[in-house]
Amino acid sequence: MSNPLDTLEATCTGLVRRMVRLPRTISRAVDQGLNIMKAEERRTNSHHFQPPNVPFQQNHHQPLYQPFPQHFQPDLGFLAGFEQQYGLVHPFFYSCRFIEVLKMSQNEHKLVFLYLHSPDHPFTPPFCKNTLCSEVVVEFLDANFVSWGGLADRSEGLHLATTFRPASFPFCAIVAPSLDDNLDVLQQMEGPVTSEEIVEALQTTLEEHGLAFGNTRAKEEEKRRADIRLRQEQDAAYSASLQADQEKEKKLEKKQKKPQHIANAKNAKILLRFPNGDRKEQIFSCIEKIEAIYKFIDSLGIPGVGRNYKLVSSFPRKVYGVDHMGITLNDAGFYPEITLYIELD
């Protein structure tokens, strides 16, 4: 019987997810005694995988999570500092409270990838640069997991670090929401690991436990494909409308003999990242205004994105709200390209 996980969905530029095929390097038929020996060896070497706190193929409700105090707010310092040091290519970490990520995982029928960041630990820089930000890890996580990251010495990150008590960093865990605000800990990794090792661990955990979330995946996939077709039609309609407007503007400029055609030749590439993990890239003329980006987002009809949202640049963080609608993309500094996050009000 073929394994549907041999073909993995990965998020790429645009709203269409492309397919990535990864080699299956872990067999289900590995001898149990060999697994025990390997687990013992990994316990001895802190830089290998730590055995999961919850045994595979069992559904224990491990009381590792208690509701966080209400004063906790999303820690934007983690993401800003991470992107400043390692760039914008990384798993899509949601900038919200961890309990909200657990709700997302239930709604999207996906497991949660938790990363606790210890910036001063000597193993952290090579892990972030070579493993966590590698293309294969980013694509695998974005396609199959809901990811959340936090600083291990601050706010919710500190709360989780106190709960998990990692023996070493970097620390990653794969968890799922359970009953009574508890967590099922399916796998955890401590210390430096390679991109190949972490993908193996992620894929194995997904195969062992993803079925609990997979009963509705077929319907979700069908709906997602329908949404993609609708968005493609909307994109085509928007492009046609934009082209018509640009042609009218060119004719008007030519008639009035204004040198605006020079500015019109400059285009800005805008990468939009939505709260649900979708990404969309669109080309705008630099003489267009920020209002044009809002109109484009509204035309997409993204589920969960209504009229109350704002555009935010990551680093340095800047909010482009209703007061900035009249600013041209050139004056806003969006040329030649920029990544904007859609944050819900």
Q: Which of 19-33, 45-59, 120-134, 245-259 has the highest mean pLDDT?
A: 120-134
Tokens of 147: 């990811």
Residue of higher predicted confidence among 13 and 176: 176
Residue 14: pLDDT over 50:
no
Closest by CA position to 289, among listed 240, 323, 255: 323
Average pLDDT along the chain: 75
Tokens of 237: 């309609």
Q: Which of 85-94, 236-245, 270-279 has the highest mean pLDDT?
A: 85-94
State how far the Cα of 20 lies from the Cα of 71, in Å rounded to an integer.
Answer: 41
Residue 63: pLDDT over 60:
no
Angle formed by the axes of helices 195-209 and 135-144, to 10°? 20
State how far the Cα of 214 lies from the Cα of 55, in Å rounded to an integer.
Answer: 20
| pTM greater than 0.75 (yes/no) | no
Q: Which domains does the chain have, with CATH numbers?
A: 4-215 (3.40.30.10), 218-344 (3.10.20.90)
Q: What is the pLDDT of residue 94?
A: 92
pLDDT one-digit tens code per residue, 208-237? 876 555 544 555 567 777 888 888 888 888
